[in-house]
Structure 1
Amino acid sequence: MVSALNRSLYIKQSIATLLLAMILSVVLSFVQAYRSIQQEPYRIQKEFNDLLSIVERPLAQALFRLDTVFAQQQAESLLYNPAIQSVIVSDENGQVFASATAPFIAPSLSSDLANYLLKDTLEVSRQLNFSGIEVPLGRVDLELDRRYLVEQVIGFNSRLFIQNLIKDILLASILSLLFYVMVTRPLKQLTWSLTRLDNNKTVSVPAAFDRRHHKDELGRLKSTFNELWLRLSNALDALERSHQHSKAMISHAADGIIVLDQNYQIRVVNEAAEKLVSMSAESLTDMPLASLGSTGFWTSLESSLHELAVDDVMSAETTLSNKQGLVPVEIRISKYMVQGESEVVLLMRDLSERKEAQQRINRLSFYDSLTRLPNRALMTDHLQKAMSDMSQDAFGVLIILDLDRFKTVNDALGHNVGDQLLVEVVDALVPLVPPNTTFARLGGDEFVFLWSNVRGSKNENNVAVVNFMQRILKECAEVKHVEGHDLHVTGSMGVSFFDGTEESTATVMRQADTALYKAKELGRNTFAFFQEDMQSLSDARLQMEKSLYRAVKMNEFEVYYQPQNNQYGELIGAEALLRWNDRERGFVPPMEFIPIAEDIGLIHDLGRFVLQQTTQQVASWRKQGLWQDDWRISINVSPMQFSYANLLKDISQALQNSGMPATMMDIEITETALMSDLDRALDIMEQIRELGISLSVDDFGTGYSSLKYLKDLPIDRLKIDQSFVRDLIHDKDDYAIVMAVIAMANALSLKVLAEGVETQEHFEQLEALGCISYQGYYFGRPCSATEFAQKFLQLSHSV
């Protein structure tokens, strides 16, 4: 019975229901009996008052006639009620006129219990009056049998209790059966189904279960079990895969792995560790750490492990003897907790290749691995020695060579092509280097020529130095054939003389570097000698570089917009122009900071900023109804940006993030960007056009204008450079150039936009020549996005 009670939910529920029903029945019956006893005195008074009402008139007549016999008969008739113990009829003087007493019957209840249950006095009396008038004739008094009345109450409530108990037990039995049918039996079916689950099945129950319970809690319980079982199966599969992956990674790891338990006994050994110690995993398992070797290293290491704290790491190096001989090994040890027990893992790495590599590095530490030239360290050492050994009145020269536009080639064609280009340049320059001259590579595309004991004058008129640099520049400018590409690079050179009195080698290097920047400012493909006044220019450039880095980090740049209009003055688009409001210099002209940004590699960050900011702004104007779908926003791309491998990705990302249609974008590129590598430029332009973006050639006429590339390249528009438009009115040559460009564009079905339109005369002259698109101060100056919307977009929208 106890076992069944512990197992069966139905038996537990049935017994609980029956007990609860019985308890409730008993409690309610006692409450009802108590209330009945409480109300019993009132009921008795009412019942016997009603009884006296029946005999009141006969007794009053008997008293009036002094008929004791009749009065005695009436008194005795009242004794037929078993609850009445005695009847006394008194006259108006209080004398007993008639009386009757019920025979004594042994009670079944004690007097104390009866008195406790019926505490009130149980006496009933009635004043007897003459009929019709209020003349008292006497009274009648009834003495009730308290114990009998209590017995009647108890008997009635006992029968009621039994009836209620039977009813409640029957109801509890019905509810238990109903609960079994509705809950317990389906739960048994569901439980039985769950015990038959395996990895490939869901919970399978009888069809009747799904019909009756697919929408109730049991149905949802089944669905929940199915979902949980699926999750559990997936989790177990994932855990098993993870376990197998971990085993595979440990087994196939290149480094040796040994795991120790908390007693520092070996538990896991992978294949790499077996090879390092020349012992099998089976022979090492359950062995102490000292079994890995006969030297005292392992014993000492085990002692150190006792002091190693959990989650701490330590390293050690030793030499192992195996089939390959003595092998240097680095051991990384860490201690961790797993299920309340500490473990130690030893990662053992063979240092043979590293040691050999370090030796090779030490041998090659003074030479460049790509070009085999001396590196900066060796060159600095030679310069220091040359300065120290410099005799009186002697001098030397340090020349720094930097390849122009090398970064563009590197970004566009990859580092492999860039490295091969460097090798080609070095191979071409080596035969030109004078004897006893150090030709070294500083890094990247920078090289240095250290020429000590130079003859001639110590100034820019030194014929030997000038002739040498001219040969170097001429050789650099020759076309280089690298992996199918015809590459054009030039060189810029900075020259610094030294005589040993300089503060340090860094001073000489800094002077040559300053001269190099001057050569780049002069247009590149040239050389410059260091002059004392150049230092301030170098410092200014360095300050500009620092400011640019800060400006990019602090987001000090802003995009301005200049309107583009047709011959009717209507807006057809705008050009996005980058502006920099430096906190110290104020607004810095783009012509000052853009070349420096290209040199230091920030041009790509600025280009991404312009793309993202412009597309988001135009998309916002379009959403507000201020920008029309047939308008174009022109975005300049510098030659370095155009050669950047991620240009298409940056453009696509900006369009995707902003939601601006690609057909609204016009990319402006210069002729210089096109001519550096025409085949690759054509490929990039085709990919841009495939996105739906228009292409314009900016500053047309200032570069290598050619009908051939205008005919072959997929461009949509030519922008006439403002240098031709500015003097169009007074300069016949500029007039002829502008007229020729417009005629050529019309012949090739290309659109034309004139830049730098500043006056009414410019506009009328260009219109007469057939130009229909304009940009310049005459139509509007570049302004911020807010001002542009107020001045041009809202005005155009209202019109």
Structure 2
Amino acid sequence: MENLPSPETFCRYLWHEYLEKQNYTLLDHCFLPETTIIGTGEHEVSRSFEMFVQKIAAEISARTTAFIIEDQWYQSQPVSADCTLVIGELRVREQTENPLEFIGRFRFTILLRQMGNQWRVLHVHQSVPDPEQGTDEFFPHRLMEQSNRQLKQLVEEKTRALEESYRRMEYNARHDSLTRLLNRRWVEAQISAAMQEGRPGVMIMLDIDWFKQINDTMGHPLGDQVLETLGQAILAVFPDALSGRIGGDEFILYLRSDRDQINPLSTAGIIEETNRLMSVWETLRKQKGLTISVSASLGAARFPEQGQQFDQLWYHADQALYQAKAAGRGCLRFSGEKDERLNGF
């Protein structure tokens, strides 16, 4: 469908296709899934577009008579940055030779949302005029005010729902679903941005020892619980660090000297905090009934001394991690420094 120049023209197109041409395919590309419809007859209220389609499916298959629009009137008014309200009235009659043909008129309110360079229907309200209403008042002032309030509330509710949906989508796009830590793509971007600020920092790579054996002998559900509790422990002990799950049983932390609770990122301070991490992790496992013994190996590298780019620092931290595994696992090793064993792990 080509872009339409105005909200009025778009609504004129809708009624023409629906009433005169009986083109119901427009329902697929002109309406949003969250569209609500208030009409007349059997489908008086549809709380969603899906409900509306279900209600009129039988009517569409049985309908044999189209209508002719004899007169129509439209007026639009913006109600928000991306929503426009269109009100109007149609006078229609059946395309039939029957002398008892139907002739009638109805009023409508259509709320449109601008999606890029196209319009989409967000809400439709059809009504039959009040025969006792004065000929000089198209919409009574009181009813118009009430309609405006309802539409404003509807726009606000749908906007809040969309914003919440966008927030959830953004969160899911940036976080690992199991551990709630940042995912690999986003944690790398955040650490790179922190490094560009120039503040001293420490990157820590963490790998669970013998994790494949845990999955193979005790099952992946238990392995997932081990990963989940580690994510919880990291968030509890390092709430201000940039922490993420790289993949599988590999994790990464980035500590900044003026932001994290380790100042000035001394080797002794980091050893103390990583020991506390292991202790909290063990406590969380026990709370879940996981009595298996689990340890982790860690490798650390300092910024900017051992790398001024993410990949460079990661390389040194990863090499330190391999040195920790070679030293017997369950320990922390700094790149270029001696092996440090975690207390009791």
TM-score by length of 1: 0.22
Query: Which structure shows the higher strand fraction?
Result: 2
More helix by share: 1
